[in-house]
Amino acid sequence: MISLVELQEGKEAKIIKLEGGYGFQRNLRARGIREGKIVKIVAKHPLHGPLVISIDGRETTIGRGMAAKILVEEIMNK
């Protein structure tokens, strides 16, 4: 498992675990970010800026601090 921050741009991964408190997890789940979902890194902004991710066909932006608490397993393309 790696954190979402470590995933390369354009790669897809399955969310395995959300670390953090109840409020943090509730915030992510309200945005559709939960265990078992497939997430793709659309863009990584420079200078430790936020990540643009795609989940369920929608794009959203999350900070690197939040992304570091989302543990994923990379999906290897065939």
The model carries a pTM of: 0.88
Per-residue pLDDT tens for 9-22? Answer: 989 999 999 998 99
Reported as a single tens digit per residue, the pLDDT across 9-61 is: 989 999 999 998 999 999 999 989 999 999 999 999 988 899 999 999 999 99
Pick the CATH number of 2-74 from 2.60.450.10, 3.90.76.10, 2.30.30.90, 2.60.40.10: 2.30.30.90
Query: Residue ranges of the domains in the chain?
Result: 2-74
Three-state secondary structure along the chain? CEEHHHCCCCCEEEEEEECCCHHHHHHHHHCCCCCCCEEEEEEECCCCCCEEEEECCEEEEECHHHHCCEEEEECCCC
